[in-house]
Structure 1
Amino acid sequence: MIDNQIKIYGSRIVIISKKSPKIVRFILTLLLVMSFLIPFIAFYVAIDYKIGFQFGIVIAFLIFWGIGFYILRVILWNTYGKEVLTLNADKVRYIADYKFFKDGYQELDTKDLRVEIVLDSNLPESKGYLKIHNRNDSIETVLKSKKNDLDILKHEINKWYNNI
């Protein structure tokens, strides 16, 4: 199931996640619609039964729309998710791209830069993620990839910073 695409565009490395199954995205979309509609239904029922405006309705809007926003991000990540590593002379930049949102922005100084492949022992094949670090900070990719692809990425990053 982990067949992420890795593309290298000069100084940009893009790891594109494999789309999740359609049924999973469909169920998440149903949950998103429900979390959007439930507060409106509660508001309508309160008015219909002449209960009047309650502060709890505002809380319901906040809670359910917060849940809906989180579900929207999960849907977008499972549909369009990708990680972008930008290699500059003095910095490595990381960002998780959800197509309509960008998150997880990290920046790392390239002095004493090290690149490691961290294999996940829970996966049947040798798959893992990339860890880029210096003395102070680190960047870890989220998407799991095949070891062969990670070896290529490690080589490209080391070549870019003359760490071979």
Structure 2
Amino acid sequence: MIVFDLCCTGDHRFEAWFASSESFADQQVRGLIACPVCGDADVKKAVMAPRVGAKSNQAVVAPAPASAETPGESSPELVRKVLAEIAAKQAEMLPRSRWVGRDFADAARAMHEGRAAEDLIHGQASPDEAQALRDDGIAAMPLLVPIAPPDALN
């Protein structure tokens, strides 16, 4: 698995995991990747800083505090704002989607293969089922804000 920092034309940055660089390229060409904030499918790889570990005999220097005015960096307020926007978008989408429970992977695959009408769905999938969907190029992503399944509510 590989993680990429991605950016849409609205300059929203987010990360996504892919099986390989080729998997990213394939999903990008097929329009299967979209910005979780605005839904823009024109997504490109963002510039990423390599994660290089410090030598064990050198002190770690803390990064300078980020400024909300500095493009590409974040502040606690900006992070809270983005998370609130994600939660609001998810709350807006959930009532328009259908809960399919543990049948999520099967329902997503049926829609992808044209055996079922395309619909907004949400449900549960095991890590292996989610990986199989990704490997087959089926667009699915975890809900970023946890929810209780409808059958678990009092």
TM-score by length of 2: 0.23
TM-score by length of 1: 0.23
Whose strand proportion is higher, 1 or 2? 1
Whose helix proportion is higher, 1 or 2? 1
